[in-house]
Chain A
Amino acid sequence: MTQPVEPISSGQYLWVMMVSVVAGSVYLWPAYVVKLTGPGAYVSLLAATAVAGGITMLQVGWMRRMAYRSYPAAMQATWSPWLGPVLTWITMLLMLALDAAILYLYGELLQTFFYPATPSWVTVATIGALAVWIAIRSLTVVARNVQFWFPLLLASFVVVLALSTGDMRFPLAATPKWGVSMGSLARASVATWFLYANPCATAALLPHVRPTGRWSAGAVALAAIALQGVILLAILYAALATLGPAVIPDMTWPIIYIFSLIHISSFFVQDIGMLILITWTIAIILHLAVHSYVVAANVGPPLGGHNPQRQYLVAGIGLAMVAGALSVGSVAEAKVWLFQILTPADLAWTVAVVPATALMAWWRTGRAPAPR
């Protein structure tokens, strides 16, 4: 019998939830969505955020029905001892593929903007290794790392974004436009999903949140989605106002371009916008660490105590992510995989499985929710 998992506070849960979505993949936003809908991108962002919020609420409701047992146990109790793990495995594999594409593209970004002579496998493998290094520890260590770093990252991001307001030439281009065709809007909303995709972290970590504090864990998870939505909104505005809707679709990494334009006339530091390089590298490490932790918790041995088996599993997950990232041939290929194959697949899978799971649990447990 393993020891019980030391629970995390609801504040830590908020930071972990925030880092499990958006943080790792935000650097790719919003080129593809502007390509599909131009200045109507706001609507697709709202749609994707609403879907993410709905999925989060369903997961919270489902966990309540399942009396806050662990995610694998809840899946088995909802479906069956063999179907539960199969569904979980498919969800986790989709997530790993998405993370691999995101990691690859980040490696290419570093090489394009900062390290032209450094092979991209070096940065990809190092980021993967650091993520594993955090994820092999206990939940409280992961949460404390996120709790320490993420507010700092957020603060530096806000500073850099504030500095870039001087470059915003086209406020007119950034005002929301609503006359967008439904077809392109739907495709754009689908293409925004990769930001919110996470390996059911909401449900997987919910049983380990201390049930104290003013806010319920469900409200905290929703707040995390909403806060990330606000950040995405700010980024979308900054991108449209700085570059206009005409050139963004042709860029792979519009935001890093915008931040590279920030220039202050001081002797030692001029390109202060490059602070974002440190911020995003830490953000993607934490993002992958939380994902690896949750994937290992969902498919592996029960959490709690010192468990070498779980550590090997996390290392294997990290290795799979890095290997997946290194097997991608080119940026164009990675973008097709990410935007046109994996993201729609993950969205379709999530909106099918999560509501089905909630319905199934409701049907099995009857009307009375289990007490906490």
Chain B
Amino acid sequence: MRWRARLAAVAGLLLSLVLLAGCWDQMGISDRAAALMVSVAWHPSGRLSWTFFFPNPTVTVNSQSQIKSTRQLYTVSVAADSWAGAERAAQRLLDRHLYLGQLKVLLWSSDMPAEAVATLVDAYNRQGITSKVAYVAAAPARALPHLLQASPQEVVPRLKWEHVFSCGPCEAIRLSQPLWHVWVDVHTPGMSPVVPYIAASGALSQIAVYGRRGPPVIFTPQQTLGWAVLTDRVTREVLSLTRGGARYTVTGVRGHGATRVAWTGGPIQVDVHVAMSGVLAQAPYGTAGRPREVRAIETATARLLLADCQAAVRRANAEHVDPFGYARTLLFEHPQWARAPRGSDWSDVALRAGFAVSFNLTTPGVTS
């Protein structure tokens, strides 16, 4: 009898293994259509255009070299007013099961208003199975189709934009935003959500800032650099300046700021001390080694960065947004101030900022 009891125990254990592994969800990789990218183009009627990008299943390790980059992805385009609607419509055009757990990039058109972006991000984030670490970005609606074509630089399942956003050394300033950051920013008072803005040319040097409503504020590259300096996102920027008719180039610009935020009614008072450093990469021959020259370039570079910071804050004040999250810092320190002044939501309170930028230049190289 004892071996029968043992057999029953083993059978029971095996059964529990099978059941706890969630058999109903078992599906072969060839039966799943795992979307790698989704682009959403806004339309005032509320009926958005959605395009899902899937890896071409014929791309294998052996066929990689033969398949053209334009054939590596296939797309399904639908019109729908919500995520769920878009998923259903896309599923109708697919012979495999649509799966969003591997999504890498979510792009939306830069004319989409803040309310619609919040709804979109919410609806996506609400599902348990979707990938919350997908990168998000905004781009002009007309540029979406060509921006998302497979690049000859990558072979699926790797994607150009995924690589751009996840490649540390590729970014001079860290602009990448995973979806969950944006979701948290949308719902945390005192912060205007920021997403990278990809220009129609494909250049990535700007941000789109979402106010309380309406389309985003697109910062210029200069304002974006100022924003990046103030939010510690500069990692290896290159700056050019002209002094006395000569051109100088400073590379590897990086640094961090110490920020103090205070509020006693009226504008939010911000004091930032930014300590940056860089490497002198180009200077008129024979001048780079002189200490006086180095100090002069340090001052000039610090002034340049200071002007960028001021430009960023001026733009934020003009547009009533706070992409720096200063008001959020304030609320984190003083949670009892949850009630915003005069019916605002904190992120539109004006900023009064004082900056001090110091710059430390090093001059390595074989010549001085």
Contact = CB atoms under 8 A, between A and B. Distances in A.
Interface residues of B, number: 29
B188 A247 contact: yes
B333 interface: yes
Contacts of A116: 25, 128-129
B288 to A, nearest CB: 38
B335 A38 contact: yes
Given A261-B132, A263-B133, A118 B336 contact: no
Contacts of A115: 22, 24-25
A39 B335 contact: yes
Nearest to A281: B20
B36 to A, nearest CB: 13
Interface stretch (A120-128, A149-157, A309-317): A120-128
A247 B335 contact: no
B16 interface: yes
Interface stretch (A47-55, A168-176, A190-198, A230-238): A168-176
B183 interface: yes
B332 A113 contact: no
A123 B332 contact: no
Given A116-B25, A126-B19, A170-B332, A244 B184 contact: yes
A250 B328 CA distance: 19
Contacts of B335: 38-40, 177, 179, 245
Nearest to A262: B133
B23 A118 contact: yes
Interface in A205-259: 243-247, 250, 257
B22 A123 contact: yes
Given A179-B336, A244-B188, A261-B133, A114 B25 contact: yes
Dominant secondary structure of chain A at its interface with chain B: helix
Contact of B189 (A127, A129, A246): A246
A110 interface: yes
Interface in B166-191: 166, 178, 180-181, 183-184, 187-189
Contacts of A127: 20
Q: Which of B13, B19, B181, B336 counts the most chain A CB atoms within 10 A?
A: B19
A126 B129 contact: no
Contacts of A243: 184
Interface string A98-133: 000000000000101111111100110111011001
Contacts of B129: 112-114, 116
B173 to A, nearest CB: 17
B20 A126 contact: yes
A265 B166 CA distance: 9
B317 interface: no
B329 interface: yes
Nearest to B129: A116
Interface string A151-187: 0000000000000000001101100010100000000
A349 B96 CA distance: 54
Contacts of A281: 20
A336 B25 CA distance: 30
A145 interface: no
Contacts of B333: 172
Interface in B240-267: none
A279 interface: no
A260 B332 contact: no
Interface string B18-43: 01101111000000000000000000
A90 B360 CA distance: 71
A185 B226 CA distance: 42
Contacts of A38: 335
Nearest to B183: A247
B25 A260 contact: no
B180 A261 contact: yes
16 contacts: A39-B332, A39-B335, A40-B335, A113-B128, A113-B129, A114-B129, A122-B24, A126-B19, A130-B16, A173-B332, A177-B335, A179-B335, A244-B332, A245-B335, A246-B184, A247-B187
Given A129-B16, A261-B132, 18 more contacts: A113-B128, A113-B129, A114-B25, A115-B22, A115-B24, A117-B25, A122-B22, A130-B16, A133-B9, A133-B12, A133-B13, A169-B184, A172-B329, A172-B332, A172-B333, A244-B184, A246-B184, A247-B188
